[in-house]
């Protein structure tokens, strides 16, 4: 995967963190810059860490599924994408957006980066550069999350559902691209 592909993947994966950041920004009354940076650091860090963990798990059995690895990547990305689109129907922020403590940010960061764990598993099957990909995903998530806090503070949850739909579509399309490349339909 080139930088462009990792960047598109990072944008798709960052949409859950973006939606959660919007919710966090809703209730921020003061220290928006400081708290926005904290939220962005948590989300960016975990979004970068989870693919590495998934990769380490994936390499344990990557060789035994080499013949169907593209199908596994396609299914994982499609399921994650469909789930993001399904979650976009929720018009509320079920996140405790007013709380900025370590425990709540830690739990929320893990929850929004589980899909990145699955992507890391598919990286192992496809023999992708995990560190380059994870760094790209983490940086993009950091930036997108900080923007999400600012948008949430200014506009409310108006963009939350659109972000999740866009992220879901991007992940599904990437899954299709991987499948088509391995089937020889795309070069």
Per DSSP (E only), the strands in 13-63 are none
Q: How confident is the model at residue 97 (pLDDT cuts 50, 70, 90)?
A: very low
Distance CA 99, CA 125 (A): 38
Distance CA 150, CA 131 (A): 29
Task: Find, among 142, 155, 170, the residue nearest to 23 by Cα.
Answer: 155
Specify the pTM.
0.77
Cβ proximity of 138 and 63 under 8 Å: no
Distance CA 162, CA 66 (A): 36
Cβ proximity of 170 and 12 under 8 Å: yes
Tell me the pLDDT tens digit for each residue of 20-79: 888 888 777 778 888 899 999 999 999 999 999 999 998 888 778 778 878 888 888 888
Is it the case that residue 11 has pLDDT exceeding 60? yes
Distance CA 51, CA 103 (A): 21
122, two tokens:
């598919």
Q: Where do the domains of the chain lie?
A: 31-73+93-159
Distance CA 66, CA 85 (A): 29
**153 or 37: which carries more pLDDT confidence?**
37
**33 or 94: which carries more pLDDT confidence?**
33
Ranking 6-10, 53-57, 69-73, 88-92 by mean pLDDT, the lowest is: 88-92
**103 or 8: which carries more pLDDT confidence?**
8
Q: Residue 31: which region, alpha, beta or left (left: phi > 0; alpha: psi -120 to 50)?
A: left
Output the CA torsion sign for 124, 177, 6, 107.
negative
Cβ proximity of 114 and 17 under 8 Å: no
Percent of the chain at pLDDT exceeding 70: 91
Tell me the pLDDT tens digit for each residue of 110-138: 888 888 988 898 888 887 889 999 999 99
């Amino acid at each position: 995967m080139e930088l462009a592909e990792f960047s598109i993947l990072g944008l798709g994966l960052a949409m859950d963190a973006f939606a959660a950041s919007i919710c966090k920004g809703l209730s921020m009354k003061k220290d928006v810059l400081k708290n926005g940076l904290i939220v962005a650091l948590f989300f960016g860090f975990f979004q970068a860490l989870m693919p590495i963990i998934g990769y380490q798990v994936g390499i344990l059995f990557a060789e035994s599924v080499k013949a169907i690895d593209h199908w596994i990547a396609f299914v994982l990305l499609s399921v994650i994408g469909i789930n993001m689109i399904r979650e976009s129907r929720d018009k509320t922020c079920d996140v405790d957006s007013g709380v900025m403590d370590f425990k709540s940010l830690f739990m929320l960061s893990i929850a929004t980066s589980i899909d990145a764990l699955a992507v890391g598993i598919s990286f192992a099957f496809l023999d992708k550069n995990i560190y380059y990909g994870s760094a790209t995903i983490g940086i993009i998530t950091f930036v997108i999350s900080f923007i999400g806090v600012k948008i949430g503070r200014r506009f409310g949850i108006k963009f939350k559902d659109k972000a999740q739909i866009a992220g879901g579509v991007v992940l599904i399309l990437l899954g299709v691209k991987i499948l088509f490349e391995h089937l020889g339909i795309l070069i």
